[in-house]
Amino acid sequence: MGRGEGADIVKIVRSAWLFTVVLAALGYVGAGLFYGGPLLGFTQEQFACPICPHVDGLGDPLSNFVRRTLGGGTLNALSLVTVGWFFRGVISLGKRLGTQSEFFG
C-alpha cells in the first residue's frame, strides 16, 4: 500500500459514514416534523415521513411525540439510508462502467 492510499481509504470511509449519518438524521427529522405537527400547531405532511402512519391517540402529547418519532423515525431513516445507498451504488457503478472504454466500443 502506497503512502497516499491509506489517506484515500480514510476519506472514503469518512464520506460513507457522513452520507449514512446525514440520511439517518433526515429520517428522524422528517418523523419529528410529521409527528410534531399537532404538538407545534401545524398539520401533518406525508412527504416529511412517507413511512409514518397517521395515528390519533390519547395520552400525553409529548410522550406520544417521542415514542412515535423514535419508532417512525427509525423506519424512515432505514428507508432513506437503503434508497440513498442504492442510488449511490448505481451512480458509482455507472461511473466505473463509463470509464472503461471496452464497454463503449
Give the residue carrying C-alpha cell 428507508: 79
Angle subtended at Cα 66 by Cα 65 and Cα 69, rounded to the nearest 5 degrees: 80
Burial class (CB in 10 A: 0-12, 13-18, 19+), 44: middle
- pLDDT on residue 97: 81
Write out pLDDT tens, residues 34-88.
888 767 776 666 767 777 777 777 778 788 888 888 998 999 999 999 999 999 9
What pLDDT, on the 0 to 100 scale, is given for residue 93?
A: 87
Q: What pTM does this model have?
A: 0.75
Is 1 a residue whose pLDDT tops 60? no
Rounded Cα distance, 88 and 17, in Å: 13
